[in-house]
Structure 1
Amino acid sequence: MSVEILTLIFVMITFGIYAYIGWWAKAVDTKSFYVAGNDIPTIANGAAIAADWMSAASFISMAGLIAFLGYDGTVYLMGWTGGYVLLALLLAPYLRKFGRFTVPDFIGDRFYSNKARAVAAIATIFVSLTYVAGQMRGVGIVFSRYLGVNIELGVVIGMGLIMFFAVIGGMKGITWTQVAQFVILIVAFIVPAVAISLKLTGIPVPQFAMTFSDIAVKLGEAQIEAGLKEYILPFQNMSKLNVFMMTMALMVGTAGLPHVITRFYTVKTVKSARWSAVWALLFISILYTTAPALGMFSQYNIIDTIHNSPVEEMDQVEWVGKWESTGLLTLDDKNSDGSYQVSGIKDENEVGIDKDIIVLSTPEVAGLSPVIIALVAAGGLAAALSTAAGLLLAMSSAVSHDLYYKIFNRNATEKQRLRVARIMIFVSVLAAGYFGINPPGFVGEVVALAFGIAAASLFPAIFLGIFDKRHNREGATAGIITGLSFTVIMLVLMKSVPILGTETPIIESFLGIDATGIGIIGMIIHFVVGFTVSRSTSEPPAEIQEMIESIRIPKGSQAPQGDH
């Protein structure tokens, strides 16, 4: 049976499971639509958080980034895992105790201001839309390779599937679907890693194989022979400044991601929120400790398989032809010597590989069973779809709950609010699809840009809202506006943006800082402006300051406040 048929079978089975779960757990009111009724079990919530967190960037792109960047690629591991610890320990329990539906909900009530709520909702839309574009790109790549369609059509197919899960199920349906998706994506990631580890090193545990075998030495020698940079030496692809700034942006951005934070509202108590974080971190670590090994194995296999291989021989390899047809793999015998060379010199390199196909193509390159190849495809889809659904719900909630209900129509009925929420998911899917077809970078990079926006706009407001009683509505509003504006403007200038018709960046860097780290400058601006403005204006009302004091007392939970 061909890989394509097996993949189609796997995809149909897994999507049948997702559809059944989404229908079984469909939302019937706004509380179940936004926060799953606050009754998700702790371990299940941990698995859903992990699936929400391990997006297409983690599953499809991260190992590819590590494969290409070597040591420098570990910034993604340090930033994303470190940031999750920051979120779990510093913010999540307090936000759960506050008891709201969304991040803009917290900011609007904490800063007693609909203006602050509105700018936070706008920031949520910016973050989520940028993030979901990467997921749509990942879905398009999987469908392009395994269903034989172009990436654009693959994105459109993904749009329809994601819309179904998000519109019908809301947070309750999405949560239970993500539990199933976590199981599928983690199995799909670990099985090929173990198989390749055994094949290359004889050690079944990828983490041990990377450390205790000679694969790293062999890869380093292969890269040097091919004219590439040494794999395990630091700061060869990124400067020390950019490594630091990017790691910080990913860490702090993690703590400001609205779709992840909302997950801590879906459990009953503060204790459950803390333990959800513990379980999620355990589940996440399974993939994140495997990714460096898989990236190393992948890079070695690619060089070993393609470098100096005869043109006629490679042109007859089935997987080469399949990936070439997607446009994500290019082979060009530039010097007409009858073989393909991998080179660190751009004009001499004859092998072009998109970073986003490393994980998906590795089982084929390694000659693994078609069943494993199909499983990886299903896992990639599970990773992309689970995160995309959560992001779409975050955008929908920002508009339907925080803007429409909280600001424009306080008398809206449950039915009206659900209708607006579902319409906004439809609009958000269309926007996400456009940027998935015309992304400003590869999957991992696009996601990293979203983290920078979150770091500059939402994280400082949440942090100061919890730990600075004196921070007021004027400071929060000014901080979000300046941090968000600076970061978005800089990203537009530093990246090619299709909607503006720019094919090359207008500027390469800002003070030596690349686009993926610029969010930290935006964050600093936010803190400075917010702190200065709050100290120059009247302090918050006494009841707000007392409320913040009570939130910081680590005792149990309390019922959600206000009318939702």
Structure 2
Amino acid sequence: MLIFARAGLVRVARPVSDFYVAARLMPAMFNGMAIAASFMAVLVFVGLAGGLGPDWQGVTTLLLGGGAGLIVAGVLLAPYLRAYGGYTLPDFLAERFGGDKIRPLAVLAIILCSFPALATVLLGFGMLSAALFSLPAVTGIGFGVAMILVCTLIGGMRSLSLSQIAQYALLLAASLTAVMVVLWQAETLLGESQLLIDEVIPGLGLQDFAQDDAVNRFALICCLAAGTASLPFLLMRSFTTPTPGNARTSFFVSVLFAGALCLAAPAFAALFEAAWVKSGDNLSMIAEGVLTVAAIAGLLAVGSALALCIANAVSYDLYFKDAHPTASTRRRLFVARLSVILVAGLAALAAMAEPQAMLTGTAAALSLAASAFLPALVLGVWWKRASADAALAGMIAGLAVCLYYMIAPHTIPFAFFESSSVFSNATDAQRSAYESLQQSYYLTNGAAQEAVLAKWDAAARPIANWWGVRGAFAGLFAVPVGFLVMIGVSLFTAAPSEDVQRFVKGLRERTV
């Protein structure tokens, strides 16, 4: 805690650019470490979405999908965002597509895909305090809020960057310790190599690709890649490097840094089992200490990035750019810091009041981010013909399809199935059972009808889907819709102005 506090407590008197983009002085290597520390959030997202099995099986899928997303961001987006020279993702979209309409929508999309995840991080602090220290969950949530403020409030992105570097260093140290402890249990050097072959390598989850549900495995990898490339709290690190080339490099090296942490997953799984034996032996004590350090560092790295991402969008894009463009530097920094406090406080209240809703929202974060941002960002950078109306339509269409597929099968399963039954993965037996219960419902009355309705509902929910894809992976449908809508509307509306087309051309020239 002292290390994190020392990293976050920088000098108060710093320029605005220091608060929003760390004065654009972050070297690629250190920026990659900060990205990798934030990337640990993907573990939470994928786990909540059902992407990881017991003992972290399927972590290889995480590496492939998430690593691909980081590379996509490094190739297609990060250097061009840095070449723009602004402070936030909504600010870039507003400059590229003409701001008044798209800026508030971009801020709303950031809140949708980031706020539930921040509340879930605070829930993690609550569970950690209850499990390890026998303290009320509220105390742990309050501690999490306090530490997030320590890591972000004073220096903004400067504080966050230094804190995340320290957090990654401790995560890496904890990972190496976990691996060494697991190897130490082999007792002999000869046994160490055998342990790696028999336990650690199979634990990576290569066999996970052989599971029957190929559709959701494909959907998981697609949503991981598209979502990781679009997560605002990762993309905001593009603005912090000295040059566009550094931004590209930082995302590339972050794959290696994140891979180092993920490869320790089997060792962490083994220590997790040992930690809860509670036998008081050396292994249990070491395991609990290592897990505590890793959990707190990971939660803080993610939570601080999420809180600052939301607060920057609110304070810079809504307050300064839209409401008070003539605000003084002192007032802007005051509002920015106040936004961090409000965002963290509201997330704590949401975590305590609606924990299940926050968990559900976190599982959807990848799909929401990809649906809202990926088409607009990719086409905005790489296609000069993409128009402002098209970007707005594409973002709305992507979010609408994503939210519809996530919500409708649970709230209106009958209407959803009957309106798109041709796309369902229902078997003939399931369709027959559904139709039989439907007829029975309309032929019965009174209390019997309520019982039939319950059975009918239970029969409808498993088949209310498109090709069996889980709701958390709605981005598989929403992202293509966003691209198609944006391309179609662009072709049928006026081309962007010459100034906008020169702006896009300039982005590419400045990244060479």
Instruction: State the TM bucket, normalised to the shorter chain.
Output: 0.7 to 0.9
Q: Which residue of 2 aligns with 1:521?
A: 477
Q: Which residue of 1 aligns with 2:15?
A: 29
- The structure-2 alpha-carbon separation of the partners of 1:235 and 1:130, relative to structure 1 and needing over 3 Å to count, comes to farther
Q: Which residue of 2 aligns with 1:290?
A: 264
SS in 2 for 1:552: helix
Letter in 2 for 1:524: P
- 2: CA distance between counterparts of 1:215 and 1:291? 9
Unaligned runs of 5+ in 2: 412-457
- 2: CA distance between counterparts of 1:36 and 1:141? 32
2:395 pairs with 1:439? no
> How far does residue 149 in structure 1 lie from its aligned partner after superposition?
1.5
- 2: CA distance between counterparts of 1:452 and 1:505? 26
> How far does residue 48 in structure 1 lie from its aligned partner after superposition?
1.6
Letter in 2 for 1:291: A
Please list the CA deviations of residues 256-280 of structure 1 after superposition, one character each: whole Å capped at 9, or x if unmatched. 1111111121111112212222332
Residue of structure 1 aligned with 2:251, choices 277, 286, 299:
277
- The structure-2 alpha-carbon separation of the partners of 1:457 and 1:177, relative to structure 1 and needing over 3 Å to count, comes to same
Please list the CA deviations of residues 262-319 of structure 1 after superposition, one character each: whole Å capped at 9, or x if unmatched. 1121111112212222332221121122225644x46xx95xx9xxxxxxxxxxxx94
- 1: CA distance between counterparts of 2:112 and 2:45? 23
Residue of structure 2 aligned with 1:254, choices 228, 234, 240:
228
- The structure-2 alpha-carbon separation of the partners of 1:507 and 1:122, relative to structure 1 and needing over 3 Å to count, comes to farther
2:41 pairs with 1:41? no
SS in 2 for 1:232: helix
Letter in 2 for 1:417: R
- Which deviates more from structure 2 when the two are superposed, residues 135-144 or residues 464-473? 135-144
- 1: CA distance between counterparts of 2:143 and 2:178? 26
- 2: CA distance between counterparts of 1:35 and 1:205? 49
2:246 pairs with 1:268? no
Once the two structures are superposed, the pairs formed by residues 164-243 of structure 1 within 5 Å of their partners are 164-200=150-186, 212-213=197-198, 232=207, 234=209, 236=211, 239-243=213-217
- 1: CA distance between counterparts of 2:236 and 2:323? 22
Tell me if structure 2 keeps the 8 A contact 1:194–1:205: no
TM-score by length of 2: 0.81
Tell me if structure 1 keeps the 8 A contact 2:45–2:366: no
> Aligned pair count?
462
Tell me if structure 1 keeps the 8 A contact 2:371–2:395: yes
- 1: CA distance between counterparts of 2:200 and 2:171? 26
Letter in 1 for 2:232: P
Q: Give the aligned CA root-mean-square deviation in angstroms.
A: 3.4
Residue of structure 2 aligned with 1:510, choices 458, 465, 472:
465
> How far does residue 128 in structure 1 lie from its aligned partner after superposition?
1.3
Please list the CA deviations of residues 108-167 of structure 1 after superposition, one character each: whole Å capped at 9, or x if unmatched. 001122211111111111111132233223222222222212334322321222123222
Tell me if structure 1 keeps the 8 A contact 2:152–2:160: yes
> How far does residue 36 in structure 1 lie from its aligned partner after superposition?
0.7
- 1: CA distance between counterparts of 2:258 and 2:191? 17
Residue of structure 1 aligned with 2:97, choices 90, 94, 111:
111
- The structure-2 alpha-carbon separation of the partners of 1:231 and 1:457, relative to structure 1 and needing over 3 Å to count, comes to closer
- 2: CA distance between counterparts of 1:27 and 1:182? 27
Q: Kindly indicate which of the two structures has a greater share of residues assigned to helix.
A: 2
Please list the CA deviations of residues 348-385 of structure 1 after superposition, one character each: whole Å capped at 9, or x if unmatched. xxxxxxxxxxxxxxxx8996152442232022111111
- 1: CA distance between counterparts of 2:347 and 2:190? 39
- Which deviates more from structure 2 when the two are superposed, residues 400-409 or residues 195-204? 195-204
SS in 2 for 1:100: coil
Tell me if structure 2 keeps the 8 A contact 1:478–1:533: yes
Letter in 1 for 2:207: I
2:505 pairs with 1:549? yes
Residue of structure 2 aligned with 1:467, choices 382, 388, 405:
382
* Percent of aligned pairs with the same amino acid: 28
Letter in 1 for 2:77: L
> How far does residue 107 in structure 1 lie from its aligned partner after superposition?
0.4
TM-score by length of 1: 0.74
Letter in 2 for 1:242: N
2:123 pairs with 1:123? no
